[in-house]
A and B are shown apart, each in its own frame.
Chain A
Amino acid sequence: MTNTQAEWQGKSESMFERMLQEVPEAVRDVFRGNLMAILKEKAKDGSILEGHVVEVVNEKVPEPFKGNILKAFSLMGGVDMNKVGEIIERFPGGQESLLSILHALQDQFGYCPPEALVLVSQKKGVFLSMLYRLVTSYQAFRTEPPKKNMVTVCNGTGCHVKGGGAILKEMEKRASENGAQITLEKARCLGCCDFSPALIINGQLYSGSEAQAKISEILGK
């Protein structure tokens, strides 16, 4: 079933397809139909915009799928300063609003763009140097866009004890290779002690042993 009879603006169609990937294949077509109807209603007589797809994700998709989808969306584009302005408006207040704003920027763009931080500094009356300190000292924030592949290794003790240390070393080696398209992160606990040692590659959870077999395949090398 295709998405014909709909005008798609920008990346909205690929965003919609990416969203549907989170739905089990068996029920995917049902969801496609329902969600298309919602999108068409939002678009009224015009095109379906990227913003419409994001709205549907925010309104209809529960966690943890929502977070995965939004993260994937953020890796599809550049820095829209209007969006940055909207985010800043969404969190009134002074310095106490900063962490929330940084999270929102990271959710939107996949990282905290320097140009966005300059605007935050101006609008919130906070020194740019302080913002730089916040994004570089809190582990949640990135100052550069993430690379093509996102790998999160569970560095929890439970996973380490079951061989997680070796997995981490290997991923560190691969990530530091020349031209490696990997952004590597360590998580303190992924919450899947039964799968340990656990790691997430591009949104999919793998158990260490099965991941090792598939790593080359997944990362395309």
Chain B
Amino acid sequence: MKINKADDLKKIKKEGMKLLSPAALRITVGAATCGFAKGAGKVFEALKYEAKKQKVKADVVVVGCNGLCYAEPIVEVIRSGKPRITYGNVPVERVSELVKAIKTGKLVKDLVLMRRDEEKSPLEKGAVIKYSKGKLSRELSTVKEYRKLDFFKNQTKLISSNAGTISPERIEEYIALGGYAALAKILSALIPEQVIDEVSASRLRGRGGAGFPTGAKWKACRLAEGDRKYVVCNGSEGDPEIGMHRSLLESDPHLIIEGIIIAGYAVGAHEGYIYVNDRYLLAKERIENAIKQAEKLGLLGKNIMKSGFSFSLQVKRGGGAYICGEETALLNALEGSFAEPRPRPPFPAQKGLFGMPTIVNNLETLANIPLIVLKGGKWFSGVGTKLSTGTKIVALSGNVTHPCWVEVSLGMPIKSIISLFGKGGAGGKKVKAFQAGGPSGGILPAKALNLKLDYEQLCKADSLLGSGGLLIMDENTDMLDMAKFFTDFFADESCGKCTSCREGLKQLQQILGSVMEGRGTKEHLSLIKRMAAAMADTSACALGKTAAVPTLSVMKHFPQEIEGRLMVKKRA
């Protein structure tokens, strides 16, 4: 069937609800890449097998990632009238025991993490699904309700609210929780300029790095002249410590699709591309399947919902170059050319893909669009801070007790993020330093932990919000080693065009190597400073411009770790 009007959406919504809150039993397994790495795939197969063997009638389905990476494999049980129970760290060997418990309505106490009494969606007021009906049994009331856990209580789940709940392979479940309602709204009630106005009113900023106002970018593209226009979704996610694009694509692919179609409508584009990191095979498969499903329902393709607006979407696998996170290098890759940034001006909004006006938006930026359309730009601008509106997905990793990913309102103090979600330094060790926003963000000392996570504060501290990665380093971390690590990273990923970046990184690497081997001198350090200034000025793109930042930040914040290793000149 094809969805031609909002009422048709309601029909599908009902079907989706029946799956999310079934009359019988639903058992879900958190199966994104991180889950699979810990055996979720085997758990899933074992659950299906045991359910059949023990004659338990259940819909066993894969869902995405809810951010609790440290507790995977995660299995959730939803039965009519009872709260949704979440089990964590479920080993394959105990699946048959778990199924037996499910069959008899019991809990496997030592594996229980939390319960969920009702499902709320940021798109609607009140509960969308009431799992628990009637009074709770004594046993169940001892299980913590998830909103009481630090991990969920302190998050503002707007774009990640479906992740871990819906199956990424079932469009009905996405629709059940409000999916494609935004698309229906704009196609029937808003003209493109109004959509751009809402996005501008939201003050949404690009979630990739620069934080450029999304509304302004779209407006420029709308006004640009060209035979055809394009929307490009940047899912290259090159930073060496995060997997958030991957998690979103694997958990809630339709959210991205909807955001892209709305963007196309707004700027006047009818073709879109999603550029996916070359290693993200599962994410690519899920988004491609989601596209097929959307096409089948008439939500993508020709004459969407009989509105006259057509939009087609393709997924392209990247070539493994970090530099393709830079929008013009990404456009080159899409055109089948080598990964090097293009000189600007002209900007992609005027001359982008195949020389046509193009908007290149980060995947996370686009994920915010359906919400902004449904609840309004003004509402969105009330989340976060005045200049940094909305939320950010943060990937917490490194020497932290619980590596995970969370969605928080912009403006949350970094210290709180680490303590509430990461539960402090791993092994009780003190946090010595952290890095925000990826390698270009530089390394900041523990006293900067009071900084708030937003564009302004991090920029003032010579760091950046960037991709939302937050790397924690403990007291045993060698700062010089970290400076070398990030310099090596940039050296591996530099495209090599600019003298400043290519030769500058070559020299930085060898100087840091000399210092590490005890042959460093004060002259080496002043040379670094001089080169860094030239690299920042003369390089063509952000990689070259910030290539020396890791080293400079360590020299500034941890001078003793470098100066203390310099060669001591013997007095004659």
Q: Once the chains are docked, how many angstroms separate the CA of A178 from the CA of B362?
A: 45
Interface range for A = 35 or more
A161 and B398 contact, CB distance less than 8 A: yes
A192 and B37 contact, CB distance less than 8 A: yes
Q: Give the Cβ gap from B6 to chain A, nearest Cβ, in Å.
A: 33
B241 and A100 contact, CB distance less than 8 A: no
B338 and A137 contact, CB distance less than 8 A: yes
Chain A-chain B contacts (Cβ-Cβ < 8 Å), number: 140
Q: Give the Cβ gap from A108 to chain B, nearest Cβ, in Å.
A: 14
For A136, the closest partner residue in chain B by CB is: B338
Q: Which of B49, B320, B333, B338 contacts A139 (CB 8 A)?
A: B320
Question: Given A160-B485, A191-B246, does the pair A24, B42 have CB atoms closer than 8 Å?
Answer: yes
Decide yes or no whether A99 CB sits under 8 A from chain B: yes
Q: Which of B238, B473, B482 contacts A188 (CB 8 A)?
A: B238
A193 and B471 contact, CB distance less than 8 A: no
A205 and B333 contact, CB distance less than 8 A: no
Question: Given A191-B243, A192-B38, does the pair A99, B319 have CB atoms closer than 8 Å?
Answer: yes
A192 proximity list for chain B (CB < 8 A): 34, 37-38
Decide yes or no whether B162 CB sits under 8 A from chain A: no
B-facing residues in A92-145 (Cβ within 8 Å): 94-100, 102-103, 126, 130, 133-134, 137-141
Q: Which of B34, B240, B243, B439 has the most C-beta atoms of chain A within 10 angstroms of its own C-beta?
A: B240
Decide yes or no whether B260 CB sits under 8 A from chain A: no
Decide yes or no whether A203 CB sits under 8 A from chain B: no
Interface range for B = 35 or more
Mark the stretch among A9-17, A46-54, A62-70, A213-221 that contacts chain B.
A62-70
B69 proximity list for chain A (CB < 8 A): 193-194
A95 proximity list for chain B (CB < 8 A): 335-337
A99 and B37 contact, CB distance less than 8 A: no
Q: Once the chains are docked, how many angstroms separate the CA of A65 from the CA of B40?
A: 12
Indicate with 1 or 0, residue by residue over B4-44, a CB within 8 angstroms of chain A CB atoms. 00000000000000000000000000001110111001100
B-facing residues in A195-215 (Cβ within 8 Å): 195-196, 198, 205
Q: Which of B240, B317, B403 contacts A103 (CB 8 A)?
A: B317
Q: Which of A23, A158, A161, A188 contacts B45 (CB 8 A)?
A: A23
Q: Give the Cβ gap from A143 to chain B, nearest Cβ, in Å.
A: 14
Q: Give the Cβ gap from A161 to chain B, nearest Cβ, in Å.
A: 4
B279 and A187 contact, CB distance less than 8 A: yes
Q: Once the chains are docked, how many angstroms separate the CA of A193 from the CA of B453?
A: 22
Q: Which of A94, A139, A193 contacts B319 (CB 8 A)?
A: A139
B489 proximity list for chain A (CB < 8 A): 155
A-facing residues in B282-340 (Cβ within 8 Å): 282, 285, 316-322, 333-339
Q: Once the chains are docked, how many angstroms separate the CA of A126 from the CA of B489?
A: 32
Indicate with 1 or 0, residue by residue over B246-276, a CB within 8 angstroms of chain A CB atoms. 1000000000000000000000000000000
Q: Give the Cβ gap from A36 to chain B, nearest Cβ, in Å.
A: 18
Decide yes or no whether B66 CB sits under 8 A from chain A: no
For A189, the closest partner residue in chain B by CB is: B243
A157 and B241 contact, CB distance less than 8 A: yes
B38 proximity list for chain A (CB < 8 A): 192, 194-195
B41 proximity list for chain A (CB < 8 A): 64-65
Give 8 A-B contacts (CB < 8 Å), ordered by A residue: A64-B41, A96-B336, A99-B318, A140-B318, A157-B240, A162-B398, A193-B34, A194-B34
Residue numbers of B with Cβ under 8 A of A are 32-34, 36-38, 41-42, 45-46, 49, 69-70, 72, 92, 238-243, 246, 278-279, 281-282, 285, 316-322, 333-339, 354, 397-399, 403, 435, 439, 469, 471-473, 477, 481-482, 485-486, 489, 492, 495
Sort A-B residue pairs by CB-CB distance and give the 7 closest, nearest first: A138-B319, A158-B397, A140-B320, A192-B37, A139-B320, A95-B336, A98-B336
Q: A24-B92, A137-B339, A139-B319 provided; 19 other pairs, C-beta below 8 A?
A: A24-B42, A63-B281, A96-B334, A99-B319, A100-B317, A102-B319, A130-B338, A133-B338, A134-B338, A138-B321, A140-B319, A157-B471, A161-B399, A165-B481, A186-B492, A192-B37, A192-B38, A193-B403, A194-B34
